[in-house]
Structure 1
Amino acid sequence: MPFPVTTPLAARLLADPEMAVCLKPFMKGPASVKDLALARGLSLQRAHYRVGLLRKAGLLVPAGLQPRRGRPIKLYRAVDTDFLVPKALVPPGVWRALEAAQSWQEEWEKALEACDAGYGTALRVRLNPQGLLVFGPEEAEEEPELLAEGFPPLLNLWSAGLYLRREEAKALQREIWALYQRYALLSPLGKEEGQARYLLHLGLAPASD
């Protein structure tokens, strides 16, 4: 059973992707403020602030101490790994932004522009070699160059021309999910040395004709 959220502060924090994702290290077991800072690439000061908010909202609780020389490290854990937030507790503006994935979209746009100076300069509508209609901001390079080793690991693709039977769409859904899980498990506890954070958007839905 999901944990029922009953306070506006907890609802607001869970509806904010940047705050909600800070619960992840503590959902996997007892973790420290430093663990959050490392997982999210935050300063210790910002990590302390976010832990304080999550504790105030009742989403984090103390989980003991980790011994070390000097003062032991405080550990916290999430009160659950599954939360149910009533729509009535979420401010309407936040709900609309969440439905539109607004905060993620803004970060996605900034990341694309940083990696590809040509992104967003024009709209491109084309038929790709597989016969699918592809549309979106113009890409700086053609597909072979995009996949070249020297090009950033960047992909921005929307397709409105993928025709599948239901069983084929289910197979694609399962393959996408399995692929995501495979790469997500490369750093289950957060960022490791040599790793960088990548935004990933996966979407699949039947379109209305």
Structure 2
Amino acid sequence: MQITDPVMVRSLVRDEAATYLAPFLHEDHSVSDAAELLHLPLAKVHYWVRSLYDVGLLEIAAETRRKGRAIKRYQAIASEFVVPAEVLPSGHFERVMRRSNAEMTDALIAAAPEWVLAGDFRIRASSPQRGSQDRVGRENAGQETTTHQSGCRLRITEDEARQLGAELRDLRDRWIARSQDESDLTPYQLNIALAPMPG
């Protein structure tokens, strides 16, 4: 469903909106059911449900009468929301990417300081015309958490760039499908980017 209403758009582009909408995009849930499913505090889920309901993104799907307050079950008004680019706040994706890159840097520093802060700097060349620089961890600096960060420049054709982009999306989607968001497993941040260098 396309959303262009400014109030709804503001709600959808909030940082955690997708998390709190997720249970209700599939089926109806009570607030307590959603909190249990998301492993999040009831008060926080209640705040978000009320907010999303007030702007019209959630509706009451069922209501069970009982002594005291009735139990309401909410459902999203659609199974998917799309905000067209022309109604997004100016610079939305740029802000999201900058924040994501900063979060990744912070996560890497926290998880592997011996690699990020104390890794050795290396320059080498795979050919007489191809130099590269990177960091390498020392063998005796035991890294306890699995991390990876790398970047490189490639000289490839536009068709090869399209092929690489498709492979990266497939890799991302495969691991998203394997991810158990509702579990107590450690969340990992994954950033993948590909872009031509500015002239």
Taking structure 2 as the reference length, the TM-score comes to: 0.72
The aligned counterpart of 2:2 is 3
Q: Given the alignment of the two structures, is residue 19 of structure 1 paired with residue 5 of structure 2, yes or no?
A: no
Partner letter of residue 83 of structure 2? L
SS at match of 2:166: helix
Identity across aligned pairs (percent)?
24
In structure 2, what is the equivalent of residue 155 of structure 1? 148
Question: In 1, distance between residues paired with 2:34 and 2:42?
Answer: 9
How far apart, in 1, do the equivalents of 2:124 and 2:20 lie? 41
What corresponds to 2:196 in structure 1? Answer: 206
Structure 2 portions without partners, runs of 5+: none
- The alpha carbon displacement at 1:84 in A equals 1.8
1:183 corresponding residue in structure 2: 175
Deviation at 1:61, TM superposition (A): 1.6
Contact 1:39–1:191 (CA under 8 A) maintained in structure 2: yes
Listed one character per residue, the Cα deviations across residues 27-86 of structure 1 (whole Å, up to 9, x for unaligned) are: 2333443454356542121111111111112112223368xxxx9864322223022257
1:1-209 matches, cutoff 5 A: 2-8=1-7, 10-34=8-32, 36-38=34-36, 40-64=38-62, 74-80=72-78, 81-84=80-83, 90=89, 95-96=90-91, 98-101=93-96, 102-118=98-114, 119=116, 126-127=123-124, 133=132, 141=137, 151-159=144-152, 161-187=153-179, 190-193=181-184, 195-209=185-199
The size of the alignment, in residue pairs, is: 192
- Contact kept, 8 Å, 1:17 with 1:103, in 2: the verdict is no
TM score, norm. by length of structure 1: 0.69
Please say which structure displays the higher CA radius of gyration: 2
What code does the residue aligned with 1:60 have? L
